[in-house]
Structure 1
Amino acid sequence: MRIVFANSAWVSAAERLILRGGGWQSVKLRVRYGLFFHPTAGPVLIDTGYTQEALSGARRSRMLRLYGALLKPELNAAEQVLPLLQSFGLSPDDIRTIIVTHFHADHISGLSLFRSARFIASDAAWARVKARGLRQNLRRGVFTELFPPDFEARLEGISAKPRVTPQGAIPGGADLFGDGSVIAVDLPGHADGQFGLLFTGPVRPLLYAVDAQWLLNALTHNRTPGFPATLIAEDAAAIEPTSAMLRRFLASGGEVMLCHDPAPTSYDLAPEAA
């Protein structure tokens, strides 16, 4: 099963905000999203990354405009989701499945580009989004105007998926396609309902851990940031247990990828493929 990740945008942050003991120098972070080709589900997107819909779309609220002005994401035109699909000979209508790892703007801003896709996401987190008021959702970085109007009708919740039990340091979770190839692993801490994706097929199992941390060094050198990074976490107390689970997975021989780590990986889109 081929797996590729693209970088939709760059966002800069001071190193000490994302790495305990780091300096004040600015680190240019990626905003990854993924595409893989499942033998029965076909091409599947993992989130959509940042798109123009979040930065200049007609439905943007005042708070979403402020959010963009504060973070100042620099869109990477060559690796936006539509050019990526085109490079593989695909159109938006060819995408029948999008896995939504959590509901922050840099992960869902392009969902409305896909009219035919079902959305695999945390149905429990979606229920909480609906139950909260506008201000509560904004505090959690959730901008409801970015969801397609029929999101719920196309939602396929992970709670209904069969469960896979952990095997030692290999985490368990929801079997998204019923064949054990892609497991949704709960990653509490950063965002409500966030889960990562464990790909069991590679010789070295791959766990895409999304936003569990910003930098892989924070995991490998046990330098997970504290205050003020914890202020924006959904559950600050869960960050370290989640990080410890990822370290155990790494120690067992697995590979961890993160959405925002700037270092290239073997799964990142090669420049000539864009």
Structure 2
Amino acid sequence: MRIVFANSAWVSAAERLILRGGGWQRVRLRVRYGLIFHPVAGPVLIDTGYTPEALTGEGRGRMLQLYGTLLKPELNAAEQALPVLKRFGLSPDDIRTIIVTHFHADHISGLSLFRDARFIASDAAWARVKARSPRQNLRHGVFAELFPLDFEARLEGLSAKRRVEAREDVPGGSDLFGDGSVIAVDLPGHADGQFGLLFTGLERPLLYAVDVQWLLTALTENRAPGFPATLIAEDAAAIEPTSAMLRRFLAVGGEVMLCHDPAPTSYDLAPEAA
């Protein structure tokens, strides 16, 4: 099984907002999404990153326009989902599964590009999205307009997946493909229903921990930012227990990767030759 991550965009933030004790210098964060080449499920996307549909597309609601104006993401045209798929000889129709780690715009903005894909996501979190008003969803960082109209019909919820028990300091979770190769690990704190992905069949087990922290340094050096960064967390009290679980996983030889950390990893897509 091969795993690659691409960078859909960059977002700049003052270091002190994402790293306790950091300075005022700007840090250029990545906005990753992933592509799994699974031997049975075929090519599988992990989220979609930022796409023009969320940031520049016509017909966006006023709040989504304001969101783009405030955050100012810089789209990376070369590593948008469709060009990256083309590099591997794939089209949107070849993607039959998208793993949706949580429902923030930088993870779901391209779902509408994939007409035939099923969505593996937290059905419990989706039920809460449906129960809330649009204004309430905005307070949770969810723009309902980014979901395809038939999202629920194509949803394959985590609750239906076989559970894998934790062992020592290796977390358990939901077995996404029934073969133990990709385990969805609950990661409470940042967003409602957020889960990461544990890849067990690698030489060194990898846990893609999505948005538990913005910087790996904040995790490994226990320098998670406090107020005001915690204002945007779904459950600020859960961030440290989740981070501590990841540190234990690192201590037993695992590898942790984050969505926004700017440092390149061995799983990041290499730039195309000029």
Indicate whether the TM-score tops 0.5. yes
Q: Which amino acid in structure 2 is aligned with residue 50 of structure 1?
A: Y
Instruction: Calculate the aligned-residue CA RMSD, in Å.
Output: 0.9
Q: Secondary structure at the match of 1:262?
A: coil
CA distance in 1, matches of 2:12, 2:118: 32
Match in the other structure for 2:158: 158
Q: Which runs of 4+ in 1 moved over 4 A?
A: none
Match in the other structure for 1:100: 100
Q: Which amino acid in structure 1 is aligned with residue 68 of structure 2?
A: G
Match in the other structure for 2:74: 74
Match in the other structure for 2:226: 226
Correspondence list, 1:15-54, <5 A: 15-54=15-54
CA distance in 2, matches of 1:218, 1:41: 34
Tell me how far 1:56 sits from its aligned partner. 1.7
1:96-117 Cα distance to aligned partner (Å, 9 max, x none): 0000000000000000000000
Q: How many residues align?
A: 274
Match in the other structure for 2:191: 191
1:70-106 Cα distance to aligned partner (Å, 9 max, x none): 0000000000000000000000000000000000000
C-alpha change, 1:173 and 1:167, in structure 2 (3 Å) is same
C-alpha change, 1:163 and 1:16, in structure 2 (3 Å) is same
Q: Secondary structure at the match of 2:129?
A: helix
1:136-164 Cα distance to aligned partner (Å, 9 max, x none): 10011100000000000000000110000
CA distance in 1, matches of 2:58, 2:116: 21
Tell me how far 1:273 sits from its aligned partner. 7.1
CA distance in 1, matches of 2:273, 2:192: 34
Q: Which amino acid in structure 1 is aligned with residue 155 of structure 2?
A: L
Match in the other structure for 2:167: 167
Correspondence list, 1:136-155, <5 A: 136-155=136-155
1:231-273 Cα distance to aligned partner (Å, 9 max, x none): 0000000000000000000111000000000000000001137
Deviates more, 1:50-59 or 1:186-195: 50-59
CA distance in 2, matches of 1:130, 1:58: 24
Q: Which amino acid in structure 1 is aligned with residue 165 of structure 2?
A: T
Match in the other structure for 1:57: 57
Is 1:237 paired with 2:237? yes
CA distance in 1, matches of 2:229, 2:270: 32
Q: Secondary structure at the match of 1:166?
A: coil
CA distance in 2, matches of 1:233, 1:59: 28
CA distance in 2, matches of 1:25, 1:203: 37
Q: Secondary structure at the match of 1:23?
A: coil
CA distance in 2, matches of 1:178, 1:35: 18
Match in the other structure for 1:111: 111
Q: Secondary structure at the match of 1:98?
A: strand
Q: Secondary structure at the match of 2:268?
A: coil
CA distance in 2, matches of 1:72, 1:40: 39
Q: Secondary structure at the match of 1:272?
A: coil
Q: Secondary structure at the match of 1:271?
A: coil
Gaps of at least 5 residues in structure 1 are: none
CA distance in 1, matches of 2:224, 2:247: 11
Q: Which amino acid in structure 2 is aligned with residue 74 of structure 1?
A: E
1:36-82 Cα distance to aligned partner (Å, 9 max, x none): 11111000000000000001223311000000000000000000000
1:178-225 Cα distance to aligned partner (Å, 9 max, x none): 000000000000000000000001110000000000000001111011
Q: Secondary structure at the match of 2:272?
A: helix
CA distance in 2, matches of 1:44, 1:134: 30
Q: Which amino acid in structure 1 is aligned with residue 17 of structure 2?
A: L
